Structure 1
């Protein structure tokens, strides 16, 4: 059980840090700007969902939510919707 506790906390921190670090790289008034907003909104929603699951001691769903949220941001960064740090552990670009 300790492994999932540590991993859930680590993935929550990763998603929160990634959200803080990602900056929209495309014009806001374009379809790509809309896509960037949607990716960020999904990531934030999954962060909130994960925190809710964690509070309910549902660590499996919390970890899944944090992972999905990060995947939305990471995918957006890979296709150029976000400027993100290229060094470090936050993104796979």
Structure 2
């Protein structure tokens, strides 16, 4: 159980840092910018959900939520909807 708790905390920190670093890439008021904003919104929502699950001691769903949130950021970055740092540990692009 300690390993799950540590992993959940690590993924929460990773997603929180990644959300802070990512920005929408497309020009404002375009479908690309809207799609980038949707990716950001989903990541932020999963971060909030994961924190809620963790507060309820539901570490499995918290970890899943943090993982899904980060997946939205990675996918958005890979297809050019989000600008993210290319160096470091936050993204796989």
For normalisation by structure 2, the TM-score amounts to 0.97
Equivalent residue pairs, number: 93
Q: In the alignment, what sits opposite 2:45?
A: 45
Q: CA deviation at 1:44?
A: 0.4
Q: In the alignment, what sits opposite 1:85?
A: 85
Q: In the alignment, what sits opposite 1:73?
A: 73
Q: Give the unaligned 5+ runs of structure 2.
A: none
- Matched residues in 2 for 1:39 and 1:28: separation? 15
1:13-34 per-residue CA deviation (whole Å, 9 max, x = no partner) reads: 0000000001111112111111
Pairwise CA RMSD: 0.6
For normalisation by structure 1, the TM-score amounts to 0.97
- Matched residues in 1 for 2:70 and 2:82: separation? 13
Q: CA deviation at 1:12?
A: 0.3
- Matched residues in 2 for 1:28 and 1:19: separation? 19
Q: Give the unaligned 5+ runs of structure 1.
A: none
